[in-house]
Amino acid sequence: MKSFAPLLMAALCAITVVPSIAADAPASASAAPKFKPDLAKGEALFASCVACHAADGNSAIPANPKLSQQHPEYIVKQLREFKSGKRANAIMAGFAAGLSDDDMKNIAYWLASKPAKPGFAKDKELVAVGERIYKGGIADRQIAACAGCHSPNGAGIPAQYPRLAGQHADYTTAQLTAFRDGVRKNNLQMTQVAAKLNDREIRAVSDYIAGLR
């Protein structure tokens, strides 16, 4: 029986120590304050954006993105990068320069609360090509399917990949082209994907995305 004494002592120590670790965990987790968005402030701040993005974030101008129902983490990331210059855009840089981090979050969460209006595809021939690329990629050129990151219906994955469904085809085309040509430099993954797409494929994917819902 003596040979089991060390094992018994180890087991007793484990029983004694584990509860103390578990008891500390909730305290450390609760120590980190959670941001509570002020949607009223977000709406007030967004008032200066309505000329380009519409009062509810559903831009009616094809060159300007729809922002409604977008994941707030993505909006905050873009605003931070406009402010820092990592994403180049003179108009957005000027706007973001005056925003605090909390301002950005308030705007982002307000936009996330606004339902997105559906878009539509325009070119039947192109949209079929776009669907194949979006859903299956192009295997022989090692182009990954867009659906893998942005989901089959374009809803994206919160905190990781943005919502694309219903986005203006003109805007998506411009951004993919900017990634491909090295003009937009704030996402290496998108730069690598877009670098392999030609103009027709970019237009096709963009048109298909516009009709997703």
Q: Considering the entire predicted model, what is its pTM?
A: 0.84
pLDDT reported for residue 15:
29
User: pLDDT tens digits, residue range 143-185?
Assistant: 999 999 999 999 999 999 999 999 999 999 999 999 999 999 9
The 10 Å Cβ neighbour count of residue 184 is: 20
Mean pLDDT split into 10-residue runs, the chain, 213 residues: 37 32 36 83 98 98 98 98 97 98 98 97 94 98 97 96 98 98 97 98 98 96
- Which residues face 143 on adjacent strands? 138
Give the chain's domains with CATH numbers.
Answer: 39-112 (1.10.760.10), 124-210 (1.10.760.10)
Look at residue 32 in the predicted model and tell me its pLDDT: 53
